[in-house]
Amino acid sequence: MPTHCSLDDLEAVPVDRPGTDASVLPVGYELRPEEMRPAVWTLPAGESTPYHRQREQEELYLVLAGRFRVRTGGGGDEEETFELGPRDVLVVEPETARQLTALEDGELFIVGAPNVKDDGVVLDGD
């Protein structure tokens, strides 16, 4: 049976990482999908996600608001940096390292699949 919610009805949860003002709207917790992990991340200007990769999850990023610098690669892959703006979509395979930095206050809809809890591997460096 389909489930639905409005982002306006969800309470933002602070990201559990020292020195960050980022927050997450727990879309997946509310809807309980079996095959994917959706969430909406809010990052203030200058904030970054950790430089990380996933063990199993492919991730899709959709910029809802703001602009982001994306760094991918490293660890044997060629490093690439580019920008995303509203309505831009990025898909990153699990083994590729990535970091997103908010160039201005921004919001990202992120979907990871399969639905694997604590799948991220934080890498050394920023």
Domain range 18-23+33-113, CATH architecture: Sandwich (2.60)
- Give tens-digit pLDDT for 40-90: 999 999 999 999 999 999 999 999 999 999 999 866 668 899 999 999 999
Name the residue with higher pLDDT: 18 or 104. Answer: 104
C-alpha–C-alpha distance, residues 104 and 86, integer Å: 12
- Give tens-digit pLDDT for 19-38: 888 998 889 888 988 899 99
pLDDT at 57: 94
pLDDT at 5: 87
pLDDT at 38: 93
Distances (CA, A) of 58 to 41, 91, 92, 116, 120: 17, 7, 6, 10, 11
CB-CB contact of 115 with 56 (8 Å):
no
